[in-house]
């Protein structure tokens, strides 16, 4: 019984990935334990999206093994355990004629099936997660009327409604104002602390993100660092210099 609980949520062992001739990921050994909140850091083109696609089963590893919840990817079927919040173009939803309630309920498709009617318990769950992200007042409003920060919370609610155990977020703060970013990370922290959610986030905003996560993984084709946010903070200059080279000056300026 206990062993089951100690299984890593995600485990990559000696993983390589290449697009035709181009090696994008090289010998990645990486694991995520239950309750981890890990931030993935790396320059443009360093393989972050590719890594996520490998975890989501969208791309096969060229070499090495990927395991999810203790099972090899090829045997893993329980995709409702994984919630994914894709990168949003915050302005793109302007004309989309769906309400918050409808968008969040669409997150149940994988569980309930596309043509089945939602039952009372599902409606209740939708309202519960909308409340969780603080948007109850907006429940029946069209998402086109929301701010970037509110929209981001709608997409998180859509991922949460199926009750995932692992939440993967790709650049979730792009187009979100500064104040909402703080609220957004507060929400993630509470999901970790109150629900024991395991989370993985990719963000270019290294300075902000690394203040909230408990682990950091630095990727630039290889994994340059994989450890606690505390250790990252102490070796931060050296690690980033190694990965970003001269462009680090720009980053340092930014924050
Ligand atoms: N379908 C593809 N075919 C060939 N090369 C690709 C393909 N997709 C991505 N690449 C290349 O693989 C490398 C890694 O890309 P990836 O999108 O994983 O990086 P990333 O770290 O997510 O970048 P960004 O921060 O810009 O989103 C890049 O050099 C990219 O040009």
- The complex's ipTM? 0.96
How distant is the alpha carbon of residue 37 from its chain centre? 9
Residues 6+ apart with CB under 8 A from 189: 37, 212
Pocket lining: 19 vs ligand 1, CB cutoff 6 Å: yes
Instruction: Identify the CA nearest to 184 among candidates 134, 126, 136.
Output: 134
- Helix count (H) and strand count (E) of the chain? 10, 10
Distance 50 CA to ligand 1 centre (A): 7
Radius of gyration for the chain, computed over Cα atoms and rounded to the nearest angstrom: 19
- Closest residue by Cα to atom 29, ligand 1, is 45
pTM score over 0.90: no
Pocket test for ligand 1, best of 47, 209, 220, 222 (most atoms within 8 A of CB): 47
pLDDT of residue 129: 93
pLDDT of residue 2: 43
- Closest residue by Cα to atom 31, ligand 1, is 45
Q: What phi and psi values does residue 66 have, to the nearest 5 degrees?
A: -120, 125
Residues 6+ apart with CB under 8 A from 183: 134, 149
Please, are residues 100 and 143 in contact by the beta-carbon 8 Å criterion?
yes
- Closest residue by Cα to atom 4, ligand 1, is 19
Query: Which atom of ligand 1 is closest in space to residue 49's alpha carbon?
Result: 22
Pocket lining: 172 vs ligand 1, CB cutoff 6 Å: no
Pocket lining: 48 vs ligand 1, CB cutoff 6 Å: yes
Alpha carbon distance 195, 197 (integer Å):
5
Burial readout 93-118 (b: 16 or more C-beta within 10 A, e: otherwise)? beeeeebbbbbbbebbeeeeeeeeee
Pocket lining: 44 vs ligand 1, CB cutoff 6 Å: yes
- Closest residue by Cα to atom 13, ligand 1, is 45
Strands in 198-202's sheet, in edge-to-edge order, are 82-85, 166-170, 198-202, 37-41, 215-220, 222-228
Please, are residues 140 and 56 in contact by the beta-carbon 8 Å criterion?
no
- Which pLDDT tens digit goes with each residue over 47-99? 999 999 999 888 999 999 999 999 999 899 888 899 988 876 555 555 668 99
3-state secondary structure of 200: strand
Across 82-197, where does the E strand assignment appear?
A: 82-85, 166-170
pLDDT of residue 1: 41
Which residues of the chain have a pLDDT value below 50? 1-3, 253-255
Please, are residues 232 and 207 in contact by the beta-carbon 8 Å criterion?
no
Distance 204 CA to ligand 1 centre (A): 15
């Amino acid at each position: 019984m206990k062993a089951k609980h100690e299984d890593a949520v995600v485990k990559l062992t000696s993983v390589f990935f290449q697009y035709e001739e181009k090696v994008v990921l090289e010998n990645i050994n990486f694991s995520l334990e239950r309750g981890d909140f890990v931030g993935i850091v790396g320059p443009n083109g360093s393989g972050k999206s590719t890594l996520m696609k490998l975890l989501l089963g969208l791309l096969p590893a060229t070499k090495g093994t990927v395991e999810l919840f203790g099972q090899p990817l090829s045997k893993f079927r329980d995709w409702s355990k994984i919630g994914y919040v894709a990168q949003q173009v915050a302005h793109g939803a302007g004309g989309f004629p769906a309400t918050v309630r409808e968008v969040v309920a669409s997150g149940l498709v994988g569980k309930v099936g596309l043509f089945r009617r939602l039952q009372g318990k599902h409606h209740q769950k939708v309202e519960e997660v909308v409340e969780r992200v603080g948007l109850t007042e907006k429940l029946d409003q069209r998402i086109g009327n929301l701010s970037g920060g509110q929209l981001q919370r709608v997409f998180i609610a859509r991922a949460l409604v199926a009750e995932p155990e692992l939440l993967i977020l790709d650049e979730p703060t792009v187009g979100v104002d500064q104040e909402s970013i703080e609220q957004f990370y507060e929400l993630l922290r509470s999901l970790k602390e109150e629900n024991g959610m395991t989370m993985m986030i990719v963000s270019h905003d290294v300075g902000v993100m690394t203040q909230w996560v408990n682990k950091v993984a630095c990727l630039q084709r290889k994994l340059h660092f994989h450890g606690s946010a505390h250790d990252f903070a102490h070796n931060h200059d050296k690690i980033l210099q190694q990965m970003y080279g001269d462009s680090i000056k720009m980053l340092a300026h930014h924050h």
